[in-house]
Amino acid sequence: MIHDAIIVFSAGVMPLDDGGWRTTTYNESDAFGTLGGRDRVEAAALLANTYPNAYLVTTCRRADGTSPTLASTYTEELHALGVPDKRIINEEVSINTGTSIEQVLKLAQKKGWKNLLLLSSEYQLSRIAAFFEEMKSDIKATAVSSESVLIPHDPAFAERFEQVKKTPEYQKRLAAEACGIAAIKNGTYRPMPIEDKKERPM
């Protein structure tokens, strides 16, 4: 299948000692559990090779309005993994998963894209699909987990992810995602407070 663009959903950033920023890992969480994020960058770089004609779209500004945006940090890490700037588009309007999908669909309409590949961590895919269904777009989309992309390339990652899934923070995330999906479907979904989404080490 030909994909016009690979959409990389963000999962927060953490500060570096030198004043810069990096994507979160499975060792970081927010009030709802495990985050991840670096897994998505690494998977996106692999998918960029698999689909050499597809654009990559990084998503989200910071919910509190501070700099840098999440999208720009993800883009920096994609650059470091060899993805050229001309293939990456920063979507820096959205602040969460739902608004990311809204903005990506607007971008797709503008660009004339017909088929998208939605990339995120495994735990988030069902909520992404629920949001996408609510949008009732005629643009086609396929969701893929970062883990399913990475595991065939790195047996050590497969072992690491199995350990992650056993942690209380990962189980907490699964429970939060299930509640979110239910809220989307019954029309009661509301964005969470910024303070609850603050990234932190476990």
Q: Looking at residue 114, which CATH number applies to its domain?
A: 3.40.50.620
Better pLDDT: 57 or 189: 57
Q: What pTM did the predictor assign?
A: 0.95
pLDDT average, residue stretch 164-172: 97
Q: What are the residues facing 91 on neighbouring strands?
A: 59
Q: How confident is the model at residue 66 (pLDDT cuts 50, 70, 90)?
A: confident
71 pLDDT band (50/70/90 cuts)? very high
Of 92, 64, 89, the residue nearest 75 (C-alpha): 89
For 123-158, the pLDDT digits (tens) are: 999 999 999 999 999 999 999 999 999 999 999 999
Q: Nearest CA to 191 among 104, 70, 64?
A: 64
Range of the domain at 79: 5-201
How many domains does the structure of the chain reveal? 1
Mean pLDDT score of the chain: 94
- pLDDT score for 200: 86
Q: Any idea which of 8-12, 79-83, 137-141, 191-195 has the lowest mean pLDDT?
A: 191-195
What are the E-state strand segments in the chain? Answer: 5-8, 13-15, 21-23, 28-30, 33-34, 55-59, 88-91, 115-120, 140-145, 200-201
